[in-house]
Structure 1
Amino acid sequence: MKLNAGAGLLLPLLLAACTPKDVPTLTLMGGSELTDLKPILDDVAKTAGVKLAIQYTGTLDGTEQLLSGAKPDLVWFASARYLQLQPGMQGRVVSSEKIMLSPVLLGVKTSDAKKWGWVGKPPSWKEIAARAASGELNYGMANPAASNSGLSALIGVAAAISGKGDAITAADVTSGELKGFFRGQALTAGSSGWLSDAYVQDQARLNGLINYESVLLSMNAGGKLQEPLTLIYPADGLITADYPLLLLNRERQPEYQKLVDALKSPAIQQRIMDETRRRPVNTAVKLSSQFPSSLNIELPYPGSASAINAILSAFLQDTRRPASTIFVLDTSGSMGGDRMDGLKTALLGLSGADTTLTGQFSGFAARERVTIIPFSSGVEVPRTTDIGTAAQKAAALASLRGQIDALDANGGTNIYGALEAAYRAAQLQADSGRYTSIVLMTDGERNQGPSPEQFRQFFAGLPAAAKSVKTFTILFGDGNKQEMNDIATLTGGRSFDGTRDLQAAFKQIRGYQ
């Protein structure tokens, strides 16, 4: 049967009318803590009739991106307090809705919690600090300059110990009691998720972990702990992450509201509680028995971004356990030209040239010890620079910049010979009271020196203190991804991708040092 001309013209219009409308896509900048919500978010997006394009990032990194002009439709961090205090964010948040809750707590091995009388009778932060200062409590905590859980813990402990509430200053962070508290920190990280995994690996030498309540409960239920953690809700209070979903794009208000309604519906709130162990904000959902029925005392938060920045700076420069950082740097022939320029830019950024928000808190700190081991066919003698006090810092950084400028590319790639040299250097510092870590940056595969198997044998023969030193690897240029992952896994570290932005990779690693 022949269609007449009119029908032929109408057919495409009819087909177009029957085609479903495109589903709108919303861009979401989300905290790295939200990755466990993906199955729930997939279902919520379908219910709301949208697609979510999610970029995961750390709180400080995300804040810097937003202040530098990033314009996602939505922002969702564990806490928006620091972000919304930034002068550059005034007036940009159109709507904000709390979605779920999780306080930042201390988990302690149950045998120790019983021994210290903390079961059924929560201690104060001062009592916790005393256990840490005495060497009895050795714990892991995320870096406050990289992770919200670490920042919340630092502010909460400082507020509780000082008794000054939201008026705390940098001076309160340098108190003797707070320094005693951080003497017990034996593990750090740039994210709360990696921190929990690292605790599992290091649980033989650690007996405490500061993290979100949801993470600690999940660890107890995960079957990987030799001994369960007793969750400590300090008597003088804590700080709770309330996960506010922020709308920045006013034109997306209808879609935002649909997402909020779906996320706060009883069914989804129940799933959030059951699957991620975060507390619901919808009071129609009954709190499960895994959470204590008593109310938590909420500690105050500083009222300005400048106060928090000063607190972070004081912590990094004066309060935290000083770091010893060993950089193992590929200077083989393939690193010539732009690659060497990129390496120098990244290291010079850590030496004071990077004045961005993240640059300020990732740079080398007072009291830090920095060792550089360049390698190509051979391995150069390690050169160590002690940054010293705040007054000595400028001169020390100038000396370090001179070493960086002198790096030159030639020769082959002796990766494992250089790593062995790094662990020998780390072994000499094992009893110095420093937090020691190694960074390996290479743009190629090993073609000279010890083999991977020979290095594994070398590593297996190290004393326990040296074995606890983690290596963080950076994939760059033509580097072998599997090789970098294997080194990070063997040593308990983590691998970072620097192929797109080497400077960003070096800054990210600083959260783990």
Structure 2
Amino acid sequence: MAGTGRPASGSSFAAAATAAAVLAAASGCGWGDGGSGGSGELRVLAGSELADMEPLLERAAEETGVTVTMEYTGTLDGVEQVVGGGTEGRYDAVWFSSNRYLNLYPEAREALRQETPVMASPVVLGVSEHKARGLGWEVSKGGAVTGVSWSGIADAVNAGDLDYAMTGPAASNSGFSALVGVAAALADTGAALEPSDIDGVTDELQGFFAGQTFTAGSSGWLAEEYADRVREPEGRPAPDAMINYESVLMSLEDEGIPGGLLPVHPTDGAVTADYPLSLLESASDGAAADYDAVVEHLLSPEVQREIAADTHRRPMERDALPEDARGAFPELPELPFPATAESADALIAAYYDRIRKPARTVYVLDVSSSMAGDRIEGLRSAMHTLTGGDADSIPGRFQRFYGRERVTVLPFSSSVHAPESFEVPEEEPDGVLTSIRDHVDALRPEGGTAGYDALDEAYALLEDEDGEDTDGAFTSIVLMTDGRINEGMSFDDLAEAHADLPDELRSVPVFPVVFGESDPEEMEDLAALTGGRAFNAQGDGGASLDEAFREIRGYQ
């Protein structure tokens, strides 16, 4: 049976660690003798933020004889795989930053045989020491901000004194945990949020999230983009703060950001990631033995100390921290998590459709002759997903176009075609979503590939729209081309034009989709130029076009 408790205190973490060690010992497989009793490979579906554990897992393989093979996914996509049975036979275990959302689904709970928290990191706000002192906040000797509540943070945002970056709650657990924590703290009911509570706190949440200036689909990419903006602020200024895992905030100093960001430890608490390595019910007995060996190794005092030192995550036993470091990790109250999937989903939907700033997206779509056949059908399928065609899946509910979003479709071939813009209403959006779908279905492939001309036009369209209720909107451009750009402007021409754009337009990211015969290196250069990210939908190892478009939604 999967456990349901999500403790935040050091004593509860210690109890979880002890219980895991007892279970491993009872299985009769000691890691110290190099034998696990299993096949020697543990196949794990993991959250992308756990990639930093791979060096420690390599050493675990040497000491336990068990190789942990990680395949990475987003939180909601991972939950969908567990709920839908997609993990059975493919993986032995799952390892997400939290199982809270997963455990809201009975099918998912039944799919887990055992789950063991390995480390912990609360989701909090991080600010520079200079900003904290400017706001009058107290900085502790341990290098954290204390004595401030989420309401106090909201007051600073509402006064115009604080803005921040945060991941999208439909794509990343850190964003979802932040949304849950802020909503629970501002609602101040002392109990898990119900759908009826959301309306009562909507105005306060709108005020709080008015301070969010950019978003991302992963906590790691958010931190990288923040660091890039600090180092090179021209055109893309860094916000004052970032909401992320405490461990990510503390690691920024390691990435060359002087002083890093100080975690703000809210007096009213936070939602904590406890990183449970979870054995699937479908795993073989051999895989279960391998799981026990890996768990025991990860919870050993020496490895717990290494986890704390290498990843800045909290160990399960407070004693694993050096005494002079314990002040940086005060125990925090755990804010209540929604008790039902209905409540969690209602909160995510409200965030996108009503609470946060709206999105504004230009889809620059290749309709050259090489797109004929399966490729244009793939494009249509991807846009069908974004217009609500995958509403039955867990991630599909939140990867559609959002209420209040402006969607512009800008096709191109040898020349740039006429753009068509759509405003998705907050209520009853189906009619507009159908119109977007029908418009894309009517596109017909012909001609060559003038992609940079189309991008130049996309920026011109955005400039013309500025001031038309677009202030602060999450603005982005998606470029999908299946070939090398061979007509019109070159990449160098576009880079020169991009340098002359006003600051607010230079900060608009382009998300290229590497597809067909498009040039991966050039698309990476384009993403780097604009502060975007390239998404691979090209051949073996790449996502499908549909998957790439869905993943981009986390960044819009």
Give the TM bin, normalised by the shorter chain: over 0.9
Which residue matches 2:551? 508
Distance (Å, rounded) in 1 between the aligned partners of 2:398 and 2:324: 40
| Mapping for residues 424-443 of structure 1, pairs under 5 Å | 424-431=460-467, 432-433=470-471, 434-443=473-482
2:427 maps to 1:390: yes
- SS of aligned partner of 2:532: coil
The residue that corresponds to 2:224 in the other structure is 197
1:205 Cα deviation after fit: 3.7
User: Structure 1: which amino acid aligns with 2:546?
Assistant: Q
2:315 equivalent to 1:272: no
Instruction: Give 1:173 shift.
Output: 4.0
Residue 457 of structure 1 and its aligned partner are, at CA, apart by 0.4
Structure 2: distance between partners of 1:122 and 1:179: 24
Once superposed, what is the RMSD of the aligned Cα atoms?
A: 1.8
Quickly say closer, same or farther: Cα 1:250–1:164, change in 2 above 3 A: farther
**Amino acid in structure 2 at the alignment position of 1:160:** A
Contact in 2 for aligned 1:279/1:287 (Cα 8 Å): no
User: Is 1:98 aligned to residue 117 of structure 2?
Assistant: yes
| Partner Cα separation in structure 2 for residue 49 and residue 214 of structure 1 | 29
Q: Which moved more, 1:114-123 or 1:360-369?
A: 114-123
Task: Indicate which of 194, 199, 207 corresponds to 1:180.
Answer: 207
Query: When the two structures are superposed, what TM-score results if normalisation uses the length of structure 1?
Result: 0.92
Q: Say which SS state the counterpart of residue 81 (structure 1) adopts.
A: coil
Write the letter of the residue equivalent to 2:502.
P
Measure the CA separation in 2 of the matches of 1:44 and 1:375: 51
Q: Is structure 2 residue 449 aligned with structure 1 residue 449?
A: no
Asked if residue 222 in structure 1 is aligned to residue 261 in structure 2, the reply is no
The answer to whether residue 387 in structure 2 is matched with residue 368 in structure 1 is no
Map of 2:444 onto structure 1 = 408
State how far apart, in whole Å, the 2-side matches of 1:419 and 1:375 are.
10
Provide the rounded CA distance (Å) in 2 between the counterparts of 1:103 and 1:293: 10
What secondary structure is seen at the aligned counterpart in 2 of 1:90? helix
One-letter code aligned to 2:203: G
The verdict on how the C-alpha distance between 1:493 and 1:480 changes in structure 2, with shifts beyond 3 A counting, is same
CA contact (8 A) 2:368 2:449 kept: yes
1:119 maps to 138
Task: State the 1:287 CA deviation.
Answer: 4.5
Q: Does 1:40 align with 2:56?
A: yes
Matches of 1:148 and 1:454 in 2, distance apart? 39
- Over alpha carbons, which structure has the higher Rg? 1
Matching residue of 1:53: 69
Q: Alpha-carbon deviations, 1:113-155, whole Å to 9, x = none?
A: 1111112443211121122233321110010001010010000
Offset of residue 300 of structure 1: 1.2
* 1:372 and 1:383 in contact (8 A); partners too: yes
Structure 1 residues not aligned, in runs of 5+: 1-20
1:78 paired with 2:97, answer yes
Is the counterpart of residue 89 in structure 1 residue 102 in structure 2? no
Q: Which residue of 2 aligns with 1:233?
A: 265
Give SS of 1:215's match. Answer: helix
Shift of 1:22: 9.5
In 1: Cα distance, 2:105 partner to 2:379 partner: 31
> In the alignment, what sits opposite 1:9?
none
What whole-Å deviation, never above 9, does each CA across 1:220-247 have from its counterpart, x for those lacking one?
232135x642221111111111111101
Correspondence for 1:296: 332
1:337–1:445 distance in 2 versus 1, CA, 3 Å: same
Alignment check: 8 A CA contact 2:95 2:277 kept: yes
SS in 1 for 2:101: helix
CA–CA separation in structure 1 for the residues paired with 2:272 and 2:339? 16
Q: What SS is found at the alignment partner of 1:448?
A: coil
CA-to-aligned-CA distance 1:455-489 (integer Å, 9 cap, x gap) = 00000000110011101110111111111111101
Residues of 1 paired with 2:464 and 2:123: CA distance?
35
- One-letter identity of the residue aligned with 2:273: A
2:46 corresponds in structure 1 to: 30
Alignment of 1:482 with 2:521, yes or no, is: yes
SS in 1 for 2:112: coil
- Cα distance in 2 for residues equivalent to 1:287 and 1:156: 29
Preserved CA contact (<8 Å) 2:41 2:290: no
Aligned to 2:11: none
Q: Which amino acid aligns with 2:517?
A: D
Segments ≥4 residues shifted beyond 6 Å: none
Q: d(CA) in 2 for partners of 1:233 and 1:48?
A: 37
Match of 2:110, SS? coil
Contact 1:280 1:287 in 2 (8 A): no
CA contact (8 A) 2:478 2:513 kept: yes
1:257 aligned to which of 276, 284, 292: 292
Contact 2:174-2:244 within 8 A present in 1 as well: yes
Given residue 134 of structure 1, which amino acid in structure 2 is its aligned partner? Answer: A
Decide whether aligned partners of structure 1 residues 456 and 29 sit closer, same or farther in structure 2, where only a CA change above 3 A counts. Answer: same
Residue 494 (1) aligns with residue 533 (2): yes
Superposed CA deviations along residues 312-356 of structure 1, whole A, max 9, x for unmatched, are 111111111100011000000000011000000100111111122
Using the TM superposition, name which of 108-117 and 489-498 deviates more.
108-117
Distance in 2 (alpha carbons) for counterparts of 1:480 and 1:94: 45
Percent identical among aligned pairs is 42
Alpha-carbon offset, residue 293 of structure 1: 5.2
Number of residues paired by the alignment? 492
Report deviation, 1:294: 3.3
Match of 1:15 in 2: none
Match of 1:208 in 2: 241
